[in-house]
Amino acid sequence: MPITKGQGNPDWTRDETVLALSLLYKHGKPVDRHHPDVHALSRLLREATIHPPADRNERFRNPDGVALKLQNLFSAVDPNRGLSSSKTDRALVEDYPPEKAADLERLASTIRDLIGRAEQFQPSSEDDESAFFVEGEWLTTRHRRRERKLRTKVLARRTEQQLRCEICAFSAPRHLDRFVQESYFEAHHTIPLAEAEGTRLTRVSDMALLCACCHRVIHKLMSSKRRWIGIEEARTLLVSASET
């Protein structure tokens, strides 16, 4: 068992844990601190901006710590091993069990790409309840930032008659001027985060127009169910809820 001496370092985020679990699934078992892949992940996490330098000490995500994380994740995959695992570990394994290793690797690839492009991690200033998706805080923060950035383009593609929520069909009062009508609506990605935040360009056609209320609700639905929810499913869930 590796000795990390990592006291004083921040807890592993979900994004970091995605990378570690992807490595575990690649090998099918934990690899030790001397393995080249452990050293590579250690270097990647130390170069990333997920945690501010002021919050880290010289042992931050060293090979010992990475190897220990693989052991803990292996315990989350196989609880019968009797070793400890964190809530973050167990939640991620629940969302991405071994049979979903390919899906997890696509997500890990996106995170590695963001780190490689020296993306700056900026934790969301919005309340955690509505900000958290399945994939992780880094992708969620970027995702919501892109939604805000693309909102103007989405609105510009709609005529006044098309300013309608694609979930609840709400339309802004006609007597208000266009500027005020637009304030009711927000843009929302119609494809999962790992695809929307990857290397591909986001097209306006990838976006839906939602009222602010439905936009908040669909984010909370994803948070509570811990998976991506599309527009059609959200509409069905909300209609079913209103009829009960």
Of 117, 105, 106, nearest in space to 142 by CA: 117
Choice among 6-10, 131-135, 182-186, 218-222 with the minimum mean pLDDT = 131-135
Is the per-residue pLDDT at 125 higher than 50?
no
pLDDT, position 202 = 62
The pLDDT tens digits for 175-204 are 888 888 888 999 888 877 666 555 455 677
Is the separation of the CB atoms in 16 and 45 below 8 Å?
yes
Beta-bridge mates of residue 244: none
Is the per-residue pLDDT at 27 higher than 90?
yes
Q: What is the CA radius of gyration of the chain?
A: 21
Using 50, 70 and 90 to split pLDDT, how confident is the model at 174? confident
Is the per-residue pLDDT at 82 higher than 80?
no
Q: Which residue has the higher pLDDT, 40 or 54?
A: 40
Q: H-type helices in 28-167, by residue range?
A: 36-47, 63-77, 87-95, 101-116, 128-131, 137-156
Average pLDDT (102-129) is 70
Using 50, 70 and 90 to split pLDDT, how confident is the model at 44? very high
Choice among 67-71, 76-80, 133-137 with the minimum mean pLDDT = 133-137
Q: Which residue has the higher pLDDT, 120 or 219?
A: 219
pLDDT, position 185 = 92
pLDDT, position 30 = 94
Is 0.85 surpassed by the pTM of this model?
no
pLDDT, position 160 = 55
Rounded to an integer, what is the distance from CA 4 to the centroid of its chain?
Answer: 27
Is the per-residue pLDDT at 127 higher than 50?
no
pLDDT, position 6 = 47
Can you give the residue ranges of every domain in the chain? 14-116, 134-243
Average pLDDT (52-80) is 92
Task: Please tell me the distance from the alpha carbon of residue 170 to that of residue 164, in angstroms, as a whole number.
Answer: 5
Percent of the chain scored above 90 by pLDDT? 34
